[in-house]
Amino acid sequence: ETPTTDSRKELPWISVTDIISTVEFNCSGELLATGDKGGRVVIFQREQESKNRLLSRGEYNVYSTFQSHEPEFDYLKSLEIEEKINKIRWLPQQNAAHFLLSANDKTIKLWKISERDKRAEGYNLKDEDGRLRDQFRITTLRVPVLMPMDLMVEASPRRIFANAHTYHINSISVNSDYETYLSADDLRINLWHLEITDRSFNIVDIKPANMEELTEVITAAECHPHQCNVFVYSSSKGTIRLCDTRAAALCDRHSKFFEEPEDPSSRSFFSEIISSISDVKFSHSGRYMMTRDYLSVKVWDLNMENRPVETYQVHEYLRSKLCSLYENDCIFDKFECCWNGSDSAIMTGSYNNFFRMFDRNTRRDITLEASRENSKPRAMLKPRKVCTGGKRKKDEISVDSLDFNKKILHTAWHPKENVIAVAATNNLYIFQDKIN
C-alpha cells in the first residue's frame, strides 16, 4: 500500500469538532465524503489523471465543504442534540448533480451537490452588480446571455427528515430500489421514501412495554444490495436478524437469525460486552455479510445461520487487557468494517492507529499504521507487528505501549480499485496499492 494524499493538516492540538466521525466513497469512487463531530461534511474529488504524470493516479483534493448539522436543544426533554455526523450515504448518481444523506443523532438531511460554471448576464431590471435599475431609464430590451465563470460547487439541502427517532440514529442505508432508505436507532428501524419527509414507516420496534426489561439494543442496520425487500440488523447481544418485508410489513419477527454459540470455557465478565456487534455490511454480491465485534470480524453466508463461515482475529492480544479497556471505556468503542470492490478482502481498524486487512482467498492478513511519521507521499507502508510477551524483536511494538487514544474506527474502500480511506482522529489518510 502506498500513501498518496494526506488531506487534513494536523493541528498542534486536536479540537473535538475536527474529529472525523464517518467516511464514505460514492458509487463511482470519484468522490469521498467525510463527516466530523462539528457537523461539517467535507467532500474530496479525485483529480483527473494527467498524461504527463504517469506515476500518479488521481489524488483526492477538497471539492466542497459545508455545514450539514447545527447543535440543537430539545426543550421538552432538556437534552442537547449534538451536531456530530453519525453517517453519510451517497445516492447513485442519476444526473450531473450528486446527492447524499447525512445524519446526526436525530435528523437526516438530503443534500444536493452541484456545479456551476456559467452565469447569466445582461438582465433588464438589474445592473451587473445586482442593484435594481431605474425603470424610467430602461429604453431597450436586452436578452440575457450565459457567460463562463469560475467553477462553483454548491451544496443545498433538498429534504429534511426529522422527528422520527426518540433515540440516537446509528445507521442509515439506501435501498436498492433507490426510492427508499432505512434509518435505525437503539430500539427502532424506520423506512422512509426519499420524496416524503413528514412521515416514515416503523418496520422494527424492539422497545419492551417496561423499559426495565430491556435486554438488547439495535447497533447497526443495512439494506441488501440487490433485493429491496431484505435488510439485516445487528444487536448488542451479538446476534443478527435478517428481515423480509414481503413476509410481513412489520418485521418484529425475523426471517433468519444468525448467532454463533458461545464457548462456555472462554466465558468471562466481559463476554457480553465484547460480543456486541458494532457494524454489519453486506458483500457487494449480496451472498455474504460481515459483522465486527470488539475483537474479531466474522463473515456469514446468508444461507447458514448457526455459525460464520470465516472468523478473523483483529487484535486478540487485547484479550488480556480487557480489564483496563473497560476502565478507560475503550471496550465500548464502535469499530466499522468494509469490503473491497470484489469482496475478496476486508478491512477494519484497531488501536495505535493500526488497521487490519484480511485476504479471504489466501487467509493472509496484514497490520498497517496510519501516521504522519511513517507515511510520506509515495512511501511504502511497512507491516506492523505487536509483541505480546517474551523477547521483543526489532520491528515489533509491545502490547503495553499501544496508544488507546489513537484509534481507527472509520474506514472506506474504493468500490472498484485498491484505494482506501482511513480516518485517524482528525486526519484522513488515503492509500493506494503499489504502482508498478
Q: How many CB atoms neighbour CB 187 within 10 A?
A: 18
pLDDT digits (tens, 9 = 90+) for 287-320: 999 999 999 999 999 999 999 999 999 999 999 9
CATH class (in words) of the domain with range 16-114+157-432: mainly beta
pLDDT at 106: 94
pLDDT digits (tens, 9 = 90+) for 221-237: 999 999 999 999 999 99
Q: Which residues pair with 244 in a beta bridge?
A: 230
User: Per-residue confidence at 373, pLDDT binned at 50, 70, 90?
Assistant: confident
Q: Hunting for cell 418485521 — which residue is that?
A: 251
Full 3-state SS string of 231-297 = EEEEECCCCEEEEECCCCCCCCCCCEEECCCCCHHHCCCCHHHHHCCCEEEECCCCCEEEEECCCEE
Q: How many CB atoms neighbour CB 317 within 10 A?
A: 17
Nearest to 82 by CA among 71, 67, 74: 71
pLDDT at 6: 41
Share of the chain above pLDDT 90, in %: 71
Q: How is residue 132 annotated by DSSP?
A: B
pLDDT at 129: 74
pLDDT of residue 345 exceeding 50, the answer is: yes
Q: What is the CA radius of gyration of the chain?
A: 24
For residue 6, give the C-alpha cell.
494526506
Give the mean pLDDT of the chain.
89
User: Per-residue confidence at 55, pLDDT binned at 50, 70, 90?
Assistant: low
Among 17-21, 52-56, 157-161, 363-367, name the one with the lowest average pLDDT: 52-56
Among 71-75, 167-171, 224-228, 326-330, name the one with the lowest average pLDDT: 71-75
pLDDT of residue 434 exceeding 80, the answer is: no
For residue 392, give the C-alpha cell.
521483543
pLDDT at 47: 86
Among 13-22, 167-176, 178-187, 299-308, name the one with the lowest average pLDDT: 13-22
Evaluate whether 431 touches 381 at the Cβ level (below 8 Å): yes
- Which class for 93: exposed (0-12), middle (13-18), buried (19 or more C-beta within 10 A)? middle
pLDDT of residue 435 exceeding 80, the answer is: no
d(CA 112, CA 259): 40
d(CA 242, CA 305): 10
pLDDT at 290: 97
Among 112-126, 213-227, 335-349, name the one with the lowest average pLDDT: 112-126
Residue 117: phi, psi to the nearest 5?
-130, 15
